[in-house]
Chain A
Amino acid sequence: MIAADFAPLAVALPLLGAAVAFILMRYSRAQRLVSVTVLGLTLGLAVVMLLAAPSAGTHAVRLGGWEPPFGIVLVVDQFSALMLVVSSAVSLVVLIYAAGQGTEDSGDEAPVSIFHPTYLILVAGVSNAFMTGDLFNLYVGFEVLLTASYVLMTLGGTAPRVRAGITYVVVSVVSSMLFLIAIAMIYGATGTVNMADLATKLDDVDPATQLVLHLMLLVAFGIKAAVFPLYFWLPDSYPTALAPVTAVFAGLLTKVGVYAMVRVETLLFPGGRLGSFLMVVALVTMVVGILGALAQSDLKRLLSFTLISHIGYMVFGLALSSRLGLAAAVYYVVHHIIIQTSLFLVTGLVERRAGTADVDRLGGLARLSPLLGILFFIPAMNLAGIPPFSGFLGKLGLLEAGVDAGTPLAFVLVAGAVFTSLLTLLVMARVWNRAFWRSTEDVEDPEPILLVGTAPDSTASGMHRVADQITGTSLAKESVKLLPGSMTGPTIGLVTLGVALTFLAGPLYTLTDNAAADMLERTPYIEAVLGVGAGT
C-alpha cells in the first residue's frame, strides 16, 4: 500500500464534499467549513503523493478492479502529482478568498450558496483530468470541470455574465465535440481508449491517419488552452465573472488544456512530428497575446491577454520536445498558475478598494493602500521575469532549452520570448504607473472613491459616508470592509508562495527534469499501466 493508491480520493473527496456542501446550502458557515476542510485534505493527500512520487515511480490505480486496457486507470507520476499539488493549493487559497468575500458581503445572496458545491465539483474535474490514464475519462474530467465552470461563470445571472457565459458555453461545447470526434476516430483506428495502450498501438497506425488524429486532439486542447488562433473566447468571457472565479479559471482551466497537450505530445504522439508547427503557434500566441494586452485598459481584460501570451511560453517548451524544454515548460506551468492567480486575486482587491478595475480611472493606489501596491508589484514583476523571481528562472530555462535545440526556428522563438517578456514588463509597468503610482490629481476621470481616501476625513465611517454621497450605491453599508483580512490574507499567502518558488527552484527543477525524462521515455507510464514488458 503506497500513497498513490489513495489517488481516487483526490477526485472522490471534492465530489463528496460538494454533496455535503449542497445539503448544507442554508448554513453558509458550515458550508464554508466543509469545503475548506475537504480541499485541505485533498491538498494534504496531493503533497503526500508528490513526496512519495520520486521513490515510488509511476503508479497506476485500477478503478473497480478492472484490468487495463479494459477498465479505467488513474495514473500518478511526478508530473500529475506536481500538477495536483499546485492545483489543490491554488484552489484552496482562492476558496478561502471567496469565503472571505462572501462573509464580508454578509453572504445572504441566494446564488452564492451554490458557489461552494460547484467549486468543489470544479476541483474534482481538474484532479480527474490531471490523473486519468484513459482518454474518454479525460473527456469526462473535462466535462465535469467545464460544466462546473459554466455555473461559476454565470453566477448571479447578470446581463454581462449571461452574455459572456453563452459565448463561453458554445465555444467549450464545440471544443469538447472535437475532442469526442477525435476519441471516436482513435477508437476506430486502434480499438482502445486507454492512453498507455494507445501509446503502444498508435505507432502501427498509418502516418497520415496519425496526423489527423494528432491534429484533432491538438485543436480540441488548443481551444481549452487558448493558444493562437483559438483564444478569442477567453478575453471576452473571463473578465465578467466574479474575481475569485476569474482567478481560479485563469490559473487552472487553461493549464488543464496545456497538461493534455503535454500528454498528447509525449505519450500518444512522441517524437515531436508537429514540433515546428507548435513552435510557430507558440510564437504567434506569445506576441499576439501581449500586443492585445498593450491595447487594454481594463485590468481584468489586460491580465486575460497576458495569460494567453504566457501560454505561448509553455507551448514553446513543449514544442522543443527535448528534456530541457519539457522540464522548463512544466516549471513554467507551475509558476504561471500561481502568479496569474495571484494577479487576478489582487485585481479583485483593487476593484473592491477602488470601485473599478479600469486603469484609466485608477490612480494613487500605492499611497492609498501600500499593502495593495506590494501585493500587485511582486507578482507583476514576477510575471515579467525580473531576475530574483521564478518568472525569470522559468524563462531562463526555456531560453536555454531553445538555444540548446539550435535550429533557426528555435532561435526565432528565443528572440520572440525575450521580446514578449520585455513587452510584459512594459504592460505591467504601465499598469503600475497609472493605477498605483500616479497621483489621483492626474487622473482624467477618477473613480470618486479614490478621491475620498485623500480627504482629511478619511476615517472608515467618514469614508463610507462620503462614498455614499458620491456613488449612492450599497458600497457604503457600514458593515462593508474595503480590504478585509480574510481576503488580503489568502492573497498574501499566494504571493508569498510565488516568491517561495525562487527558493524552491532547485528541488523543483530536479523534479520537473525527472518528470520530463519519465515522460519522454514513456516506458515508466506504459509499464505502470499495462505491466512490465508492455512498453517494448
Chain B
Amino acid sequence: MTVDLTLIVLMAAFLAAGLYLLLERSLTRVLFGLILLGNGVNILILAMSGVGGAAAFYTEGTSGRDYVDSLPQALILTAIVITFAVTSFMLGLIYRSWVLGRKDEVQDDPESLRRETEDDYGHADDADRAADASEFPHPAEVRPLPRARTTPASGSRSASGSTGGQAR
C-alpha cells in the first residue's frame, strides 16, 4: 500500500495540536481540541485509501486499479456528520455552563472533593456522644418543627457533627 506522506504529517500535526488543546482547562480550547482531533482522524482515514485515482464513477474502458478507493470517503463523510453533531452539542453545553455563571473552565466534581477532604468515613458512628453535655440545643436544631415528641434522643447530637452531611 502506498501512503501519502503529506497527509500523514498533516494528521500528526492535527492530532498533536488537538491533544494539547484537549488537556487545557479552558472549555473553548477543549472544544477546538475536539474539532482538530476529529479532522486529524478524518485525514488518517483518507490516507488509508492509498494513492489517488479517478473518481468512482464507472467509465468505459477504465481498469479497476485506476479508480480511487471510495469507501474511506464514505466513512469520512459519516464521521464528519457525527463530529459536527457532537461539536454543536458541546458548544451548547459550554454556552449553558457559561449562562449558569461558571467560568469557561472544566469544573471539579464537588462530591470527589468532599470525599478527599473528609477525614474518616465512620465519623458519625464513632463520635463520643457523651461529650455533648450542653443543656441547650445545638443552634442547627432550632427549627420550626414539632420534633420534641418524636425524637427525644436528638439532644445528644455530637459536637463534632460539622464534617459530614452538613456541608450540604
Report which A residues bind B (CB closer than 8 A). 136, 140, 143, 147, 150-151, 154, 157, 159-160, 162-167, 169-170, 173-174, 176-177, 180-181, 183-185, 187-188, 193, 236, 239, 294-298, 301, 358, 360-361, 440-441, 443-445, 448, 451, 454-456, 466, 469-470
Looking at chain B's contact residues, is the secondary structure mostly helix, strand, loop, or mixed? helix
Is the CB–CB distance between B165 and A469 below 8 Å? no
Chain A residues with Cβ below 8 Å from B124 are: 360, 443-444
Is the CB–CB distance between B41 and A360 below 8 Å? no
A174 is contacted by which of B22, B45, B78 (Cβ under 8 Å)?
B22
A147 to B157, CA, bound (A): 48
**With A136-B78, A170-B22, A470-B145 as contacts: A163 and B151 at CB distance below 8 Å:** no
Nearest to B110 among chain A residues (CB) is A160
Is the CB–CB distance between B154 and A441 below 8 Å? yes
Mask for B59-90, Cβ within 8 A of A = 1, else 0? Answer: 00000000000011001001100100110011
Is the CB–CB distance between B111 and A301 below 8 Å? yes
Chain A residues with Cβ below 8 Å from B166 are: 445
Q: Give the A-B contact count at a CB cut-off of 8 A.
A: 139
Is the CB–CB distance between B145 and A164 below 8 Å? no
Is the CB–CB distance between A163 and B38 below 8 Å? no
Can you list 29 A-B contacts (CB < 8 A)? A143-B82, A143-B86, A157-B96, A165-B93, A166-B97, A166-B106, A169-B90, A170-B34, A177-B38, A177-B41, A180-B45, A181-B44, A184-B75, A187-B45, A187-B48, A187-B75, A188-B3, A188-B47, A193-B71, A236-B109, A298-B111, A301-B111, A360-B124, A441-B154, A444-B161, A445-B165, A445-B166, A455-B150, A469-B144
| Chain B nearest CB, measured from A206 CB (Å) | 13
Chain A residues with Cβ below 8 Å from B22 are: 170, 174
A164 to B146, CA, bound (A): 39
Q: Is B142 at the interface (CB under 8 A from chain A)?
A: no
| Chain B nearest CB, measured from A296 CB (Å) | 7
**With A147-B89, A150-B89, A177-B41 as contacts: A440 and B161 at CB distance below 8 Å:** no
Chain A residues with Cβ below 8 Å from B34 are: 170, 173
Chain B residues with Cβ below 8 Å from A454 are: 150-151
A444 is contacted by which of B44, B127, B168 (Cβ under 8 Å)?
B127
**With A147-B86, A360-B164 as contacts: A466 and B146 at CB distance below 8 Å:** yes
A147 is contacted by which of B85, B115, B144 (Cβ under 8 Å)?
B85
Is the CB–CB distance between A444 and B93 below 8 Å? no
Is the CB–CB distance between A184 and B86 below 8 Å? no
Chain B residues with Cβ below 8 Å from A466 are: 145-146
Chain B residues with Cβ below 8 Å from A143 are: 82, 86
**Given A173-B34, A184-B72, A294-B121, 6 other A-B contacts at CB below 8 A?**
A150-B89, A181-B41, A187-B45, A187-B48, A360-B124, A456-B149
| Chain B nearest CB, measured from A306 CB (Å) | 16
A181 to B75, CA, bound (A): 12
A355 to B166, CA, bound (A): 15
Chain A residues with Cβ below 8 Å from B130 are: none
Is the CB–CB distance between A441 and B93 below 8 Å? no
A187 to B71, CA, bound (A): 10
A123 to B33, CA, bound (A): 30
Nearest to A185 among chain B residues (CB) is B48
Chain B residues with Cβ below 8 Å from A163 are: 97, 102, 107, 109
Is the CB–CB distance between A170 and B96 below 8 Å? no
A443 to B110, CA, bound (A): 23
Q: Which of B26-51 contact A (CB under 8 A)?
A: 27, 30, 34, 37-38, 41, 44-45, 47-48
Is the CB–CB distance between B90 and A451 below 8 Å? no
Chain B residues with Cβ below 8 Å from A181 are: 41, 44
Mask for B95-116, Cβ within 8 A of A = 1, else 0? Answer: 0110010100011011110010
